[in-house]
Structure 1
Amino acid sequence: MKKMTQKNTFHALSGFLFPLAFLATSQAYASDFITGEQQLSVKEKRAGEAYYRADSKWMIYQAEVADDNPFYQIFLKNIESGAVTQVSPGTGKTTCAWVHPAQEKVLFSSTHDDKEAKAKMAAEIERRNAGEQKSYAWDYDEFYDIYETGFDGKNIRNLTNTLGYDAEASWSPDGKLIAFASNRRAYSGELSEEEQALFKANPASMIDIYIMDADGSNVKRLTQTKSYDGGPFFSPDGKRIVWRRFSDNGREAEIFTMNIDGSDQKQITRLNAMSWAPFYHPSGKYIIFATNLHGHRNFELYIVDTDGQKEPVRVTDKEGFDGLPVFTPDGNHITWTSDRTPGKKGLLFHGKWDHQKALESLALK
């Protein structure tokens, strides 16, 4: 494996030069950061986007399992026993789950209340059976709402109940707030003619970051762009939010952070690539994210300091997709989604994380 130097490997690709004083001085192999790699998901047709409760006793994730539903459903796993419970209704599409930091309840987005949900399931099955191939594109279904339910999948409650894409939600560390992404403005009648034309051409263009109280009240819009802002997660201290902002043409994305009131929006990466799925390390020292800097379909994991002053460091180097990374609450392990399996389907992978190596590679104390 080729040893990476922080200076000559990165700058030629990014076209952005960091001040020399900010360059990390240590050399590192990508394989130094994750050891003991193992595949977590086995029985699922595909699985991904796993997150942990604050006590590390529970993991929530999305997976395609049933033959009669070609879309993801949400599953909760007891880490100690290995027992898995489906917590979503089983109809329609689901995405973006989260576990409450202290209580026995979960968040996820779902379209199960869409009257056409079953018809859309049947149409997707028919398309697949016909062998029809289509390029990957995320579905900003306007019937996505954010739901809360117990660990048994009962007492489900709609927290948004608004036409438009409401998804990508996560609780704050104290469980009092929820950050999420939405294009609800596009369905409110308040768009200008220019915005309406933009939305018709690109439904993602009107997606912004919102924040609300945990019961769904006091909804506030935090970003004000005409491009996609999404995938928000709170910092370990609950004071900031990290997210991804797409370029106007949708071909590039960069990592940003801001205060939870929307102030002090700060760009963290400048890679001129598709950089997304950012997540804080529990130490609060750095952020991990995925980027296709090395090829359109070759997403790799990178880390960067939370101020964006250091040069990002690569931590995976296998062909294909590596993305949606998340650390365990103690910061000692990492779980992510990868298609490095036969058949190229996305599944969950897990490994031991070297926090000290991460600090050293970014020249952090």
Structure 2
Amino acid sequence: MVFKRLLGSLGVGGPSVDTVLDPGAVTPGGGLTGQVHLKGGNADFTIEHITLELVARVEAEHDDGESEGLVVFDRFTVGGDFRLAEGEQRSIPFSVNLPWETPITELYGQGLGIALGVRTELGVAGAKDKGDMDPLAVRPLPVQESILEALGQLGFAFKSADLELGHIRGTGQQLPFYQEIELAPSPQYAHQVAEIEVTFLAGPAGMEVVLEADKRGGFLSEGHDTVTRFTVSHGAGAVDWNTEVDSWMRQLVGRRTSHGSHHAYDSHAPYGHGDLHADKGHGHYGHGDHGHRSGPGMGTAIAAGAAGLAVGVVGGMVAAEAVDEIGDLFEGDEEDGGDDEA
């Protein structure tokens, strides 16, 4: 029996774990549900804990260039402290809430190339078994979807999306990384801007929208980045988002340099804005904007496949390619040795 338990602690003849997430994409800040299925090994074992880890494939910039790695951005203990008999099968249901800043992985069912996963860690008889890894699909919050839809309606096209290690200064960012959604400019701004980057930083009270424009250089000037930030409420369903987002873009693109003074904003509007006068991740950002509640109403639902940014997603990425990238996230995970740093 002692030899059996030793083999079990080494993963030979020990319990097996299979986590099954309930079907369908979840939203940032929303509930993630499923079941952890256990099967006993060749002996009785004490299950000390069952822990779910949220992991993401994140890019990190450094002096030698860029690298990628896995980052654990939340952990949940969903069970443990029980005896699993030899050969016994047991299922542990779970329900946890995702962080509000969880990146979105899809829009209208089309993958954005973001790799997120749920890794199950099984604590068995003093040893840790990383168990299995399951891909995590996250769809936008309604306000995020409305903003992205408006961008598409205004002629901006999806290029790519990634996760960057680091913090955006002057914001309320909580996670150790942030998501950038890169867009090709609309024809109206193509002569001024090479690219637009959108970052959503959601929280329980509202959401910060950070916009960065890669502005083209002129005959006597070099290209530069301009950055600004807007704060919106989750209940801003009555907003004419095409008009609002167009005004954001006019302010962002129309700025001559990345440095300037703060602008006032209407305290009765459902959003606030402030200027972030430097490069994201390195500069010192401005402060002083707070979101305001909008009027009643949840807004009009946007049907899947509607005109807008979804066209750019479908045109720029095949869904199967996104699945392959998520699959790559899990290959060799057991060989990582538990290294969760990017």
TM-score strictly above 0.5: no
Greater fraction helix: 2
Q: TM-score band, normalised by the shorter chain?
A: under 0.3
TM-score, normalized by length of structure 2?
A: 0.28
TM-score, normalized by length of structure 1?
A: 0.26
